[in-house]
Amino acid sequence: MKHYLSLLAIQFLCGQRFFGRAEDKLNNESNVKYSSSNVGLLRLMEVEEEFTDCLINYIGQLEEETHFLQKYLSSVYTVESQKERVEYISNPLNAFSLLRRTHEDLPKWHAYFRKSIKNGNLSILDDIVKKVPHRVDLISAMRGIHRIERIYDLKIDDLAQGILQGQQHNIQLTYRDLIAMGHFMFEQRDYQAAAKWYRIACKHEQKYSDKLLNEVLGNPSEYLHRQFIKALFIYGTSTSDPATSSDEASIAAESSFAEASKEELDDIMSNLNDPANDVEVEKELYLTNWSPTNFEIGCQGLYRRKTNLVCRYKFDTTPFLRLAPLKFEEINLDPYIAMYHEVLYDSEIEGLKSQSVNMINAYATEKNGTEIRESVGQFAFWHDKSLMRERINQRIIDMTGFNFSKTDEIQVVNYGVGTYFNPHFDFTSDDYEAPDVIELGDRLSTVLFYASNVQQGGATVFPKINITVFPRKGSSLYWFNLLDDGRPDQRSQHSVCPVINGDRWTLTKWVHFFPQMFIMPCKSYSKTKSEV
């Protein structure tokens, strides 16, 4: 670092056991993954509530241990209505906290209560604990939190207090949540972010210090200070001396602090906690040369607004629209992107959400060995015979003039904690082949219905042409993936930004090229700007 942390790095050389970096052996994608969708998170809330309800039934057998039960129950958020439940897990901080405590804390409470309850059949409790998230699920949630922080350029100090893009939410991450994020970033070798999370955790240490909780869950303070100092040392050393890599600084830190006594660590922490020094540490931790990508600029809504676009009633696509014109908005002219408003109704939205019973994890990349793939969300194809689905397909035909069967399937997608879809194409590209491409041709167009409002984030971004569209419940966005002659249009690259706060549901229909050949003849070809 420039000044203060470089001095600290030298001081810390005056001479822990980390919690483990072994490869996770639970990366089985057939496991339930709660973090990839809000649908899954609602199921996880039910697991935690089922656990607490079961414990209440044993309360008469706990006797003097009742105060432990009260401590545990007070840490569990309970809601009455489905609307409140959805609102709760739609905040990524709440969702992460739920995943962390059910993965880390609930099994420890289970072990404690199993030991305390001498009599009675505990098989129900045992079965519930089998449903807790796997570590891979928690890792996905922590990646999601980090992704939200990075893409939207949020401050970790604000995240810890529940402040998202300047809006204060009724949530604060707990002491153990903060430490878990610090550990994760340390494992990822992002020592700058790890130091930020550890620093905030240290500030919450006294607030969350509780002997009863520490007895059951363990006392994280025993290694928090050591990890915070190590993260500062590694970051400060590698930044102040570019010739020293973070790996070399990490080896030096392990050697320096392996035998450091508690008194030595306390002295360093006392120095760091001095208000004047803390200000310097914070200032230098937030110094960065990071520049956002064009995708990240789009997610933040910072593209320049397009001009010469119109909104009107559309009535000339099919004869039916002369009787019932639709609200139509131009988003971009070349390539053509448009939006219809109020074309998906609440009853239809509830119908499509009923298709979420058998949703599965969606991934943007092919599986490669044992790597943990990034979840895009959870999806299902609505292919059961349904008059409602046929009406939606007919509405797409009326909106676009495309030719396809009203019985075609439609994809339903729900997003989770920081899940996103990185920039990609819907047409067949180097690493992706669109389904039915041989029989029906490539994907000419994409029709995307927004089935929910999203309070913050969750936009659809076209990074090559600087277009951002934020979800609006009941509206439908559509664009062309191919040029008139069937060649791929590289400008159609698009992505989904992670949700900061809200529940993102979409309904997607892809329209293939071959059935449109005789109703949409080729225009005279002119080169796109990208081809000139």
Q: Based on the structure, what is the number of domains in the chain? A: 3
With respect to residue 141, please indicate whether it lies within any of the assigned structural domains: no
Do 245 and 314 fall into the same domain?
A: no
Of 259, 288, 317, the residue at which a domain comes to its end is 288
Q: Which of 133, 162, 178 is the last residue of a domain?
A: 133
227 and 324 part of one domain? no
Residue 278 in domain: yes
Residues 283 and 311 reside in one and the same domain: no
Question: Do residue 283 and residue 344 come from a single domain?
Answer: no
The verdict on 334 and 425 lying in the same domain is yes
Spatial distance between the Cα atoms of 93 and 158, rounded to a whole number of angstroms: 12
pLDDT attached to residue 198: 96
| 374 & 417 share domain | yes
Residue 139 lies in a domain: no
Residues 102, 197: one domain? no
Residues 115 and 230 in one domain: no
**pLDDT of amino acid 13:** 45
CA distances from 116 to 63, 112, 113, 128, 218 (A): 9, 6, 5, 18, 17
Q: Is 153 exposed, middle or buried (0-12, 13-18, 19+ CB in 10 A)?
A: middle
Question: What is the C-alpha separation between 523 and 532, in angstroms, rounded?
Answer: 18
Task: Verify that 357 and 404 share a domain, yes or no.
Answer: yes
DSSP output for 446-481: EEEEE-S--SEE--EEETTTTEEE---TT-EEEEES
SS3 state at 313: strand
CATH of residue 486's domain is 2.60.120.620
Is residue 128 domain-shared with residue 76, that is, in the same domain? yes
- Per the domain annotation, does 519 fall within a domain? yes
In a domain, 144, yes or no: no
Domain membership of residue 473 (yes or no) is yes
In 3-state terms, what secondary structure has residue 68? helix
DSSP state of 316: S
Contact 169, 199 (CB under 8 A): no
Given 104, 133, 162, which residue is the final one in a domain? 133
User: Residue 47 and residue 127: Cα distance in Å, rounded?
Assistant: 10
Pairing between β-strand 360-363 and β-strand 494-496 as defined by DSSP bridges: unpaired
Residues 37 and 20 occupy one common structural domain: no
Sheet holding 421-424, edge to edge: 421-424, 494-496, 460-462, 467-469
Domain-embedded: residue 318: yes
Range of the domain at 249: 1-25+154-288
Q: Residue type at 347? A: S
Per-residue pLDDT of the chain (532 residues; tens, 9 = 90+): 445 554 454 444 433 333 333 344 445 666 668 999 999 999 999 999 888 888 777 766 666 566 666 766 766 766 668 888 899 999 999 999 999 999 999 999 888 888 877 666 678 888 999 999 999 999 999 999 999 999 999 999 999 999 999 999 989 899 999 999 999 999 999 999 999 999 999 998 876 667 778 888 888 887 899 999 999 999 988 888 888 888 888 888 887 777 778 888 888 889 998 999 999 999 999 987 778 999 999 999 999 988 889 999 999 888 899 999 999 999 999 999 999 999 999 999 988 887 777 888 888 777 666 667 778 899 988 888 889 999 999 999 999 999 999 999 999 999 999 999 999 999 998 777 888 888 999 999 999 999 999 999 999 999 999 999 999 999 999 999 999 888 999 999 999 999 999 999 999 999 999 999 888 755 544 444 444 4
Q: What is the pLDDT of residue 63?
A: 61
What per-residue confidence (pLDDT) applies to 289?
72
322 — phi, psi (to 5°)?
A: -70, -25
327 & 436 share domain = yes
In a domain, 143, yes or no: no
What is 479-532 written as a DSSP string? EESB-TTS-B-GGG-EEEPPEEES--EEEEEEEESGGGTTTSPPPPP---GGG-
